[in-house]
């Protein structure tokens, strides 16, 4: 078996490739060979790109070559989009040109009932000491290298989340949610068949990647459960990991098998094992995204005490309804805290309890009251719970976050331009903002749970792993 350290060295070279051959590049917009080369160009890749197409002199304005053997120099990586039966031959040619690995986009291997082709692919790679991503994948996107080697989407919004998915659609959804909200990603990796490199290898890589603060995974099954859990435990000791496991029902397991050829395991057992290793087991896609966002952006909570400070009563009630369900408490404010808040000149109609309803749309009111409450250690996490548009919300968050002892999270669900622009601006500051109070609570609970896991095991917060 390949040494884990050797695998990580190869992955470093693959993700940081400086020359890529796109084999199967095309001028036809309908073809994946066009989409992949176009993504690399639009993603801003600054290394050398070599389109390989025997029927074209140029592809997308770049000089094309009839075969890999005809390339003018060595390559680091091959992106392969040709029919499955030709892939082993291309891998051998790429190895002869110095490639350390290949991103095999092509399908038609074990997932389509042709395991013999997959075996031939691996044999070809081993002849040259190459490693294989895929086959049957949408691709990879590593933003520190501006290397968007995938059909779609072209994500250039750089941020803290590494997305690892056993589905191109789910990988895309998580990546685009993060980009649209101004949060961004560090990387996106589609797993496909995992004939060679797999989820455990990528976990080890992103656990040490300084550009990644949290890892979110979508899995339909794992081929080596023990190895995966060992990698998960190593990763969670460094930085947060969220795992969403699909294929919970018999129908879902059949779908997973037909999709990637993976073996789906018992969901409850799998989820419990993930939690034991320190990962957060998500129940659905939205929860996975919110948990990853909170874990990437929230300062590690000191405990599970929550104070909701809202523009109106309904927002606080929604938060309170969810808090206990997710293991958070909303303790009453102490008499000293109430007195201190009164001295800060709160709005006249404010309800000085927890939830604390400001009945105000003045950001200065929020700043005074929240700082006063924090001064009396009212909570471990303060939720700025905005059910109405608050002018200057991003500036308020930027002012409060470094001054609070408590962690700060934001729920912004007012609607309209003020909310949309405010949410993006807050994310760009590196702070967590959620679309509803309920989603905020779930995210906060994940962050509190992970912080508790580290405390109970005496794990320090490792700066290298935090990026």
> Each residue of 237-249: pLDDT tens digit?
999 999 999 866 5
**What is the pLDDT at residue 261?**
42
**What is the pLDDT at residue 436?**
95
> For tokens 């789906």, what's the residue?
264
Q: Check whether 442 has a pLDDT greater than 90.
A: yes
Tokens standing for residue 311: 């523009």
Q: 321: closest CA among 432, 406, 441?
A: 441
Domain boundaries, the chain: 1-137, 155-297, 299-456
Q: Is 190 helix (H, G, I), strand (E, B) or coil?
A: strand
Q: How far apart are CA 352 and CA 310, in angstroms?
A: 11
For 148, 170, 217, 250, 449, the CA distances from 291, given in Å and listed in that order, are 25, 16, 11, 27, 10
- What's the CATH architecture for 155-297? 3-Layer(aba) Sandwich (3.40)
Q: Best-predicted range by mean pLDDT among 347-361, 413-427, 449-463?
A: 347-361
**What is the pLDDT at residue 460?**
85
**What is the pLDDT at residue 265?**
57
Between 250 and 296, name the one with better pLDDT: 296
Q: 432: closest CA among 165, 171, 164, 182?
A: 182
- What's the CATH architecture for 1-137? 3-Layer(aba) Sandwich (3.40)
pTM to 2 decimal places: 0.93
Q: What is the pLDDT of residues 312-333, one digit of tens each?
A: 889 999 999 999 999 999 999 9
Class of domain 299-456: alpha beta
pLDDT bucket at 256, cuts 50 / 70 / 90:
very low
Q: How far apart are CA 382 and CA 361, in angstroms?
A: 18
Q: 174: closest CA among 183, 159, 163, 166?
A: 163
Residues in the chain: 467
**What is the pLDDT at residue 252?**
47
Query: Do the first three CATH levels of 1-137 and 299-456 match, i.e. the same topology?
Result: yes
Q: Check whether 223 has a pLDDT greater than 90.
A: no
Q: What is the pLDDT of residues 32-88, one digit of tens each?
A: 999 999 999 999 999 999 999 999 999 999 999 999 999 999 999 999 999 999 999
Give mean pLDDT, residues 272-291: 95
CA 366 to centroid of chain Cα atoms: 32
For the chain, what percent of residues have pLDDT higher than 90? Answer: 88
Going by C-beta distance under 8 Å and a sequence separation of 6 or more, which residues neighbour residue 153?
A: 172, 175, 176, 179
Q: How far apart are CA 454 and CA 267, in angstroms?
A: 25
**What is the pLDDT at residue 348?**
95
Q: How far apart are CA 256 and CA 390, in angstroms?
A: 44
pLDDT bucket at 260, cuts 50 / 70 / 90:
very low
């Amino acid at each position: 078996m390949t040494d884990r350290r050797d695998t990580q060295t190869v992955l470093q070279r693959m993700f940081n490739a400086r020359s890529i051959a796109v084999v199967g590049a095309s001028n036809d917009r309908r073809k994946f060979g066009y989409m992949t080369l176009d993504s690399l160009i639009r993603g801003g890749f600054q290394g050398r790109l070599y389109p390989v197409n025997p029927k074209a002199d140029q592809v997308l304005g770049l000089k094309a070559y009839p075969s890999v053997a005809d390339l003018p120099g060595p390559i680091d990586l091959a992106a392969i989009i040709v029919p499955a039966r030709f892939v082993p031959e291309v891998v051998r040619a790429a190895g002869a040109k110095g490639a350390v690995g290949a991103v095999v986009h092509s399908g038609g291997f074990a997932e389509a009932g042709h395991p013999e082709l997959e075996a031939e692919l691996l044999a070809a790679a081993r002849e040259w000491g190459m490693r294989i991503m895929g086959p049957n994948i949408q691709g990879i996107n590593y933003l520190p290298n501006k290397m968007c080697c995938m059909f779609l989407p072209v994500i250039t919004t750089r941020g803290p989340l590494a997305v690892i998915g056993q589905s191109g659609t789910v990988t895309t959804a998580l990546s685009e949610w993060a980009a649209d909200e101004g949060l961004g990603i560090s990387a996106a990796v589609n797993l496909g068949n995992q004939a060679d490199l797999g989820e455990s290898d990528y976990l080890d890589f992103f656990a040490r990647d300084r550009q990644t603060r949290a890892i979110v995974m979508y899995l339909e099954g794992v081929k080596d459960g023990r190895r995966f859990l060992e990698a998960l435990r190593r990763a969670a000791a460094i930085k947060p990991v969220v795992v969403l496991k699909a294929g919970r029902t018999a129908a879902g397991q059949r779908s997973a098998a037909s999709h990637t050829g993976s073996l789906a395991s018992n969901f409850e057992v799998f989820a419990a094992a993930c939690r034991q290793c320190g990962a957060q087991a998500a129940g659905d896609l939205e929860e996975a995204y919110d948990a990853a966002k909170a874990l990437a952006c929230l300062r590690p909570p000191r405990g599970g005490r929550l104070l909701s400070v809202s523009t109106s009563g309904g927002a606080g009630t929604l938060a309170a309804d969810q808090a206990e369900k997710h293991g958070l408490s909303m303790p009453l404010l102490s008499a000293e805290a109430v007195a201190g808040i009164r001295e800060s000149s709160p709005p006249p109609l404010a309800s000085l309890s927890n939830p604390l309803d400001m009945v105000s749309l003045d950001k200065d009111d929020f700043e005074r009251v929240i700082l006063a409450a924090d001064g009396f250690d009212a909570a471990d996490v303060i939720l700025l719970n905005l059910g109405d548009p608050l002018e200057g919300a991003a500036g308020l968050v930027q002012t409060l976050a470094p001054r609070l002892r408590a962690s700060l999270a934001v729920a912004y669900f007012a609607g309209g331009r003020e909310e949309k622009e405010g949410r993006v601006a807050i994310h760009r500051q590196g702070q967590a903002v959620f679309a509803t109070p309920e989603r905020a609570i779930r995210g906060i609970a994940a962050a509190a749970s992970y912080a508790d896991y580290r405390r109970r095991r005496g794990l320090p917060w490792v700066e290298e792993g935090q990026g």
